Amino acid sequence: MILYGKFVQLYCEISINKEVFVLSKWICSECNHSNNSHARYCLKCGHFKVGNIVKKSTVTWRCPICKVENNDHTHYCWKCGHWLLSEKYTPTKIEKGVQTSEPKPLKKSNANVNNFSILNIIELIVIIMIGCSIFIGEGSIMQSLPYILIWIFFTHLLFSVIYIVSAFFRRGFLAGGRTLLMHVAVLFVIFMVIGFTYGQSANQTHAVASSIDEIKRTAIELDYEDMLRNANGKYKNTYVKVSGKVYHLVNGNQNDVMINLSLDPYSYQAVYIKRKEQDQTLILDDNVVIYGKLSGTIGTINAIGVEASAPVIESYSLILLNE
């Protein structure tokens, strides 16, 4: 009896762990029943052995008690004798050759990402360069914004063609279609922003023109001494009209200038002009007419180097009279 038990244990160990020494069996092609090698007919359905292909089961069952693997046709664990068909303590099925752990996700190639990143950087550099040149040329963000948006539209249109073609060839038709739809949507949004900006710019231009016409219509001409005495009083924030000759560019720029209202070359009626408009480029001795708002006085030095107070006018419209 002891020898028989040892033989059964040896047989089970060989059939499970040593593939070279597996005792030959054949599987019936009709009912898939496993038969011993010496059987000429299937023990289950009686099908003749000839013509059957011997198949080896890749399934084993791990005993829930001792954790030892048993072959597919074993009903009792060869080590501890546990009944493997028990519904209370069921064994664990193991398929050999099949990966039981979750597969690691494949790393996506960064080649496409790097290519698109380089193109994006180039596009951004081009847009910044063009935007800066337009802004410098126009001198105002509101005036240059519509032109900057137009250049962004055409620049992105050019690069979009590269993105879309690259996506079709590198990542397939589906990825190319998604890329196409995405860039069409981006271009449409930019186009809508351009239209809105142009509308706002046109409305602002119209509003500025209307306000300048209103300033010219309501501006008054004051005696110089009266204007100087009451610049911080009753005439403050009043729209005025003054005519004179430019005799000083403050700090050498066009933003602040000094003009002399007196027609007498030996008399100086100095007015400090803070330009809010860019109607003309001024040089010394230009004759101008200015419409603006009286905003107070400022301490300055007149044309003969004497410290004096001068009225301050914010200029909204300037007319050059040299012609």
Q: What 8-state DSSP symbol labels residue 61?
A: E
Judge if 231 and 203 occupy the same domain: no
Cβ atoms 249, 289 nearer than 8 A: no
> CA quadruple 55, 61, 62, 63: dihedral positive or negative?
negative
Judge if 73 and 131 occupy the same domain: no
Where is 185: in which H helix or E strand? helix 173-218
Least confident of 52-56, 218-222, 244-248: 52-56
Q: What is the pLDDT of residue 96?
A: 66
Q: How far apart are CA 179 and CA 161, in angstroms?
A: 10
Torsion of CA 136, 140, 144, 145, to 10 degrees: 130
Question: Predicted confidence band at 139 (pLDDT cuts at 50, 70, 90)?
Answer: low
Q: What is the pLDDT of residue 19?
A: 41
Q: How far apart are CA 182 and CA 160, in angstroms?
A: 10
Q: Would residue 31 count as lying in a domain?
A: yes
Residues spanned by the domain of 193:
114-215
Torsion of CA 189, 195, 199, 205, to 10 degrees: 110
Q: Exposed, middle or buried by CB within 10 Å (0-12, 13-18, 19+), for 319?
A: middle
| Maximum Cα–Cα distance across the chain | 143
Q: Would residue 132 count as lying in a domain?
A: yes
pLDDT at 257 over 90: yes
How confident is the prediction for the chain on average, in pLDDT?
A: 77
Number of domains the chain is built from:
3
Q: What is the pLDDT of residue 299?
A: 87
Judge if 46 and 125 occupy the same domain: no
Question: Predicted confidence band at 304 (pLDDT cuts at 50, 70, 90)?
Answer: low
Judge if 84 and 135 occupy the same domain: no
Q: Would residue 108 count as lying in a domain?
A: no
pLDDT at 260 over 80: yes
Q: Give which of 255, 224, 225, 219 is closest to 237, Cα–Cα.
A: 219
More confident of the two residues 10 and 28: 28
Q: What is the pLDDT of residue 220?
A: 92
Full DSSP string of 281-296: ---TT-EEEEEEEEEE
Judge if 7 and 64 occupy the same domain: yes
More confident of the two residues 318 and 10: 318
pLDDT at 244 over 90: yes
Give the CATH number, domain containing residue 228. 2.40.50.140
Judge if 229 and 293 occupy the same domain: yes
Question: Predicted confidence band at 192 (pLDDT cuts at 50, 70, 90)?
Answer: confident
pTM for the model stands at 0.39
Question: Predicted confidence band at 56 (pLDDT cuts at 50, 70, 90)?
Answer: low
Q: Give which of 255, 251, 263 is closest to 282, Cα–Cα.
A: 255
Judge if 51 and 134 occupy the same domain: no
Q: Exposed, middle or buried by CB within 10 Å (0-12, 13-18, 19+), for 23?
A: exposed
User: What does DSSP say about strands 270-275 and 307-320: parallel, antiparallel, or unpaired?
Assistant: parallel
Domain boundary among 61, 95, 129: 95
pLDDT at 247 over 70: yes
Judge if 85 and 139 occupy the same domain: no
Q: Would residue 240 count as lying in a domain?
A: yes
Judge if 229 and 269 occupy the same domain: yes
Least confident of 11-25, 84-98, 133-147: 11-25
pLDDT at 159 over 80: yes
pLDDT, tens digit, for every residue of 92-126?
888 765 444 344 444 444 444 455 578 788 888 88
Q: How far apart are CA 32 and CA 19, in angstroms?
A: 21
Helix segments in 18-85, DSSP class H: none
pLDDT at 191 over 70: yes
Q: Exposed, middle or buried by CB within 10 Å (0-12, 13-18, 19+), for 280?
A: middle
pLDDT at 15 over 80: no
Judge if 118 and 210 occupy the same domain: yes
